[in-house]
Amino acid sequence: MRILLQFPEGLKQEALKHAKELEAEGNEVIISASPTYGACDLAIDEAKHVGAEKLVHFGHAEFHHVDFNVEYVPYTIDASLEVLPSSLEQLKGMESICLLTTIQHVHQLEQVKRFYEEHGKRVVLNRPNGFAKVNGQILGCDDGNVMVIDRSVDAFVYFGGGIFHPLGALLQTTKPFLIADPFQNRTWRMDEMRETYRKRSRGKILASVNARNFGIMVSTKNGQYNMALAKILKKRIEAEGLNAAVLVSNTLDFDSLNNMLEFDAFVNTACPRIAIDDIERLRKPLLSANELMEALKIISELKMPAAKS
């Protein structure tokens, strides 16, 4: 069988090992050298181009169904639980917590849950309602039902490294949000980041109020393609007497977008994290669909004649 292997950046150093293992079984193996941003970014076009019968995607669980033979090989990490006791002081007085993690650590959730329950905490796990597959799991683009849980718990605890995955959940919640990082062996609260990102979002909206020309970004990646939304937003922009064009690309190149000087603002319909994490890579405002609607509401209100006294 001809197989194409695909690895995220953190696992590319293991590509040759896995290729040799599959070749020893009699397969013809090709390795994708392209970057991948998750299971929303499968190398299906590459697989078809080289005549592969199967794509083996490492590091992530299934994101959504695709019309191709894809084998997912999630990457699990047995992280130390020694960081957990240090979190208890910061959770003092908080009786109930929602526990979150990534696919790499979901197999450890029961141990982490048991630790907190043994120390008097009521623990709930978020339920996936989108692309995540397992209770307690979050993706960078899918926070499950954390917004609903926010009303019934005292705090959130994310077990894992970095802030990429918990940031989306943080912005959907209002309660104390604790990071228990087993790799740095430290716990800390990231609550203050909520206000930073809210101010940043408001600044983008206000900076777009005087925009006349909007570029609506569409990615052709299998799990990010949303032309239907782009068409809706284009009509909404044009209804305000403004100009809009759909800009399509597989991997969005911010240098190329910066060369499109006619556009006063850009709107993202691809991975929702682009409008959060990548705004400094564009010289013009980069809005989410919701932020665009807020900007258009202000634009509409500014055009209304002042009421007579």
pLDDT values of the chain reduced to their tens digit, one per residue, 309 residues: 999 999 998 899 999 999 999 999 999 999 999 988 888 999 999 999 999 999 999 998 888 889 999 999 988 889 999 999 999 999 999 999 999 999 899 999 999 999 999 999 999 998 877 777 788 888 887 787 899 999 999 999 999 998 989 999 999 999 999 999 999 999 999 998 999 999 999 999 999 999 999 999 999 998 899 999 999 999 999 999 999 999 999 888 899 999 999 999 999 999 988 888 888 899 999 999 999 999 999 999 988 775 454
* Residue 58, H or E segment: strand 54-58
Find the angle CA(111)-CA(112)-CA(113) to the nearest 5 degrees.
90
> What is the Rg, in whole angstroms, of the alpha carbon atoms belonging to the chain?
22
CATH classification of 84-190 is 3.30.70.20, yes or no? no
Q: Which CATH number is associated with domain 2-73? A: 3.40.50.11840
As given in the structure block, the two tokens for residue 130 are: 């989108």
Please, where are the H alpha helices in the chain?
15-24, 44-49, 87-90, 109-118, 146-149, 164-171, 192-207, 227-239, 254-258, 274-277, 289-303
Do the domains at 2-73 and 84-190 have one common CATH topology? yes
Query: Whole-angstrom Cα distance, residue 302 to residue 3?
Result: 57
Q: Which superfamily is assigned to 198-303 in CATH?
A: Diphthamide synthesis DPH1/DPH2 domain 3 (3.40.50.11860)
Query: Whole-angstrom Cα distance, residue 249 to residue 276?
Result: 19
Are residues 290 and 269 in contact, defined by beta-carbon separation less than 8 angstroms?
no
* Residue 243, H or E segment: strand 243-249
Domain ranges (residues) in the chain: 2-73, 84-190, 198-303
